[in-house]
Chain A
Amino acid sequence: DVKVTQSSRYLVKRTGEKVFLECVQDMDHENMFWYRQDPGLGLRLIYFSYDVKMKEKGDIPEGYSVSREKKERFSLILESASTNQTSMYLCASNRVRGNTIYFGEGSWLTVV
């Protein structure tokens, strides 16, 4: 069974903290994505990666960075968390020439 696993389902962090959200996929997919989901705004792409050590900005990269040192793992980093980054974060992966995208279950982040 294919899987995208987000290690943390619920997190509460303080303003200014550095936050790591981890995502692992076991399907040998080239592409991995980080989205945030907010009411009325849908899912917005933060960053994606099409290969190890390669990354591209999505629509809302400000305040975030990413790391992809291994093909199966894609990390989202909030260098200094702010309250406006309170959101649901979704990781996803797919093949560059594939037709199905797989989502993780999401990480609920609250910044206080």
Chain B
Amino acid sequence: AQSVSQHNHHVILSEAASLELGCNYSYGGTVNLFWYVQYPGQHLQLLLKYFSGDPLVKGIKGFEAEFIKSKFSFNLRKPSVQWSDTAEYFCAVADSGGYNKLIFGAGTRLAVHP
């Protein structure tokens, strides 16, 4: 069965610090990869997605993620975080060769201090 692991459950950073959130998945077939964000009191928003092509994907709000197939990883990065990036971040995988159902990681809560 597919699974998604997010290594950091809580991350605390100061503004302007760099961010990297880890995501690993287990699935042997072709996958589509996603990062979602949920700001306090709001519903999920898509940050970025990878289907094929360039493994370095750029998303909204200055986020990017790199797909490393050999490591089954899709880590999220941002060079300089802002207080407004305080949110919960979810990595997700869809089995594009199957039913295309989306499986989520447990999430990482990011708190950015001014």
Interface residues of A in 58-112 (CB under 8 A from B): 58-59, 90, 92, 94-101, 103, 105-106
Q: Which chain A residues border B44 with CB–CB below 8 Å?
A: 90, 103
Of B1, B6, B43, B100, which one neighbours A96 at CB under 8 angstroms? B100
- Give chain B's interface secondary structure class: loop
Pairwise interchain contact B100-A44, C-beta atoms closer than 8 A: no
Whether a CB of chain A sits under 8 angstroms from the CB of B65 is: no
Interface-facing stretch out of B13-21, B71-79, B102-110: B102-110
A41 to B109, CA, bound (A): 11
B2 to chain A, nearest CB (A): 9
Please list the residues of chain A having a beta carbon within 8 angstroms of any beta carbon in chain B.
Answer: 31, 33, 35, 40-45, 48, 50, 56, 58-59, 90, 92, 94-101, 103, 105-106
